[in-house]
Structure 1
Amino acid sequence: MTNATGGRLGVAVIGAGMMGADHVRRIDEVISGARVAAVADIDEARAQDMAAGIDGCGAYTDPVAAMSAPGVDAVLIASPGVAHEAALLAALERDLPVLCEKPLTTGSESALRVLEAELRLGHRRIQVGYMRRYDAEYLQLKALLDSGELGRPLMLHCRHRNVSVHRYFTDEMLINDSVSHEFDAARWLLGQEITAVQVLRPTPNGHAPAGLGDPQFVVFETDAGAVVDVEIFVTSGFGYQVQAEAVCERGTARIGEAHGLMTNVNGRWGGAIAPDFLARFTAAYDREVRAWVDATRRGRVTGPGTWDGYAVAAACEAGIEAQRTGRRVPVRMIDRPPFFS
């Protein structure tokens, strides 16, 4: 699965916004064994600007044209979620390996269509970009829980805080854009599926955009009886924090405290808080894309896949209904096909 350009994997990057630009930089400057062969964006000038500094990289406005460009062996999708289904189906039609930024698609029905298309293809081609699975602290916590040293996990407490969000941010985006990460992380850490979601609403932050009910407290249950809670607070004003604490039968384990460099100066002590998700998870993104490139060059697909994207989409739909109704809402999913076991 390598082209003639130095044996490197030729990648078409679909979407040239903040995330796409960061991945283009990553593949071009950080990841060995791959090259950016094409860039596609609805904004032609932006695609051309991004491709201009990379030898042999073409610029396109049509994702399908970018996938069909010379030297393209694989696809990285970083376009808005509403465009993912069409791009994923086009990649599957061409039997191209894909790393798709979350969400897989914007709903469970469209995710199911992609899942069924991959089933018909008969082999895995899609990895979904849940980068927390590649974060060093999350990997430590996963290994500890899997070891059984602390006994069965009973509860998982999570905090997800941003400095601020755009004025157009909505309640639904709290679930789809933010808590979706906790849905996947909890499923992965615990090895369990989410069965029901409930959302509680404290008094809104006075600094939140008009109409946004921030913060919120999301509680969900799993099929093995664990309970997970998530404080989602996207207008905290002070920094970007992602934290998790597993409460188990014989102890607890906590990550995300950011105990790096500590200073004592002018009668105060303290450290730094990351300003955004790119700063906090840079190393995780690097590790994720490197793992995807290495696996793809070996003809394999590893990491979170189509089933994970579908399961998170179903949990998000339950979460949005719980937001709207104030009720505990069951997660509605098909049975997991053996293909994805």
Structure 2
Amino acid sequence: MSGLLGVAVLGAGHMGADHVRRLDRTVSGARVAAVADPDTDRAKEAVAGIDGVSVHADVAAALDAPGVGAVLIASPGPAHEEAVLAALGRGLPVLCEKPLTPESAGALRVVEAEARLGRRLTQVGFMRRYDAEYLRLKSLLDSGRLGRPLMLHCTHRNVASPPGFTTAMLINSSVSHEIDAARWLLGQELTAVTVLRPRPSSGAPEGLGDPQLVLFETSEGALVDVEVFVNCGFGYQVRCEAVCEAGSARIGDEHTMVVTDAGGAREDVARDYLVRFADAYDREVQAWVDATREGRVAGPSAWDGYAAAVVAEAGVRAQESGARTAVEAAPRPGLYA
């Protein structure tokens, strides 16, 4: 195991356990060296059958465990800032699941800490940048074949929201993926946001304003609209259509198994993000491991995490006020130019 990158995985819940499995069975060049979770029984279950892994209740103990050379953070968002800063303090490269931090102020503190180090160590887990369809759309837009992008039409649907899901989380949890994807696809900043709220679906929990239509303006005059519907009841769907001066391109139409029998034809619909974006997660973590072993960071940066947070906060203010709300971001440090 001496040539493998030892990774400490922080968080052993749904996402963390999936990353433990991925590092152990799918990704090359790395191994799970330590796992930290306040629920150590859950952590032990996640690493059952994997040799050489130490289990900890405390983040610092996992970061300091023998063989740890990098950190993958899959704990709840409120724990991210402390964990990222602890990793930076030890000079450890980090892959942090989104959000980098729940609030932009915390994300800015991470950006500033990294800027003081003078080098990037943090990558944020915006996995759509690694999805095959999103990569094809990005390549097409960058080629200029369809002319200048004018609009992005996006759809983000979930079967059902988890317990405790709030109206604000439609923006800062769900739509945060579209925020990053739009910035990346267009190469533009999001400068203002308006949120329109229809009558809530009867399938939405009491008090949850679901669905919503979120409209972003960009720094170069494009528009991005997102239909977010987290209690649609029938499946997990993520779609994006780019409308350009000389054509359009759409991704996200289901290309899954179609079953035909005496009752007719049925097409499978993914039930959650770990199914829809399984390949993207694999490519994301593999790319992170490869880059880390080469001493570099190539994916979404801490600045991208901050940008998503500050835009999402403007979106939540727009939810509450019903008015167009400007995005007010801090100056970008030279490290992220």
TM-score range, shorter chain: over 0.9
Deviation at 1:260, TM superposition (A): 3.2
The aligned counterpart of 2:310 is: 314
What residue ranges of structure 1 are gaps of 5+ in the alignment? none
1: CA distance, partners of 2:46 / 2:53: 9
- Structure 2 counterpart of 1:336, which letter? R
The aligned counterpart of 1:92 is: 88
Deviation at 1:167, TM superposition (A): 3.4
2: CA distance, partners of 1:63 / 1:249: 50
2: CA distance, partners of 1:125 / 1:139: 24
The aligned counterpart of 2:334 is: 338
CA contact under 8 A between 2:256 and 2:269: conserved in structure 1? no
1: CA distance, partners of 2:154 / 2:3: 43
2: CA distance, partners of 1:73 / 1:167: 35
1: CA distance, partners of 2:266 / 2:243: 27
The aligned counterpart of 2:123 is: 127
The aligned counterpart of 1:197 is: 193
- Structure 2 counterpart of 1:156, which letter? L
- Aligned equivalent of 2:26, options 26, 30, 37: 30
The aligned counterpart of 2:69 is: 73
- Aligned equivalent of 2:137, options 128, 141, 149: 141
State the secondary structure of the residue aligned to 1:99.
Answer: strand
Deviation at 1:339, TM superposition (A): 1.1
Percent of aligned positions with the same letter in both sequences? 65
- Deviation track 1:39-98 (CA, whole Å, cap 9, x = no partner) reads 000112212232342211000011111000000000000000000000000000000000
2: CA distance, partners of 1:246 / 1:111: 29
- Deviation track 1:232-274 (CA, whole Å, cap 9, x = no partner) reads 0011111000000000000000000013333443353341110
- Aligned equivalent of 2:255, options 240, 255, 259: 259
Is structure 2 residue 230 aligned with structure 1 residue 229?
no
The aligned counterpart of 2:56 is: 60
> How many residues are aligned here?
337
Pairwise mapping of residues 94-243 of structure 1 onto structure 2 (< 5 A)?
A: 94-243=90-239
State the secondary structure of the residue aligned to 1:231.
Answer: strand
1: CA distance, partners of 2:222 / 2:228: 19
2: CA distance, partners of 1:162 / 1:49: 28
Q: Please tell me the root mean square deviation across aligned C-alpha atoms, in Å.
A: 1.0
CA contact under 8 A between 1:85 and 1:111: conserved in structure 2? yes
- Structure 1 counterpart of 2:312, which letter? C
CA contact under 8 A between 1:145 and 1:153: conserved in structure 2? yes
2: CA distance, partners of 1:280 / 1:12: 26
State the secondary structure of the residue aligned to 1:300.
Answer: coil
State the secondary structure of the residue aligned to 2:316.
Answer: helix
CA contact under 8 A between 1:38 and 1:51: conserved in structure 2? no
The aligned counterpart of 1:21 is: 17
CA contact under 8 A between 1:263 and 1:271: conserved in structure 2? yes
Pairwise mapping of residues 286-297 of structure 1 onto structure 2 (< 5 A)?
A: 286-297=282-293
Pairwise mapping of residues 271-290 of structure 1 onto structure 2 (< 5 A)?
A: 271-290=267-286
TM-score (norm 2): 0.98
1: CA distance, partners of 2:19 / 2:277: 13
Change (3 A) 1:262 1:44: closer
What residue ranges of structure 2 are gaps of 5+ in the alignment? none
**Which of 31-40 and 252-261 deviates more?**
252-261
Moved over 4 A (4+): none
Is structure 2 residue 8 aligned with structure 1 residue 12?
yes
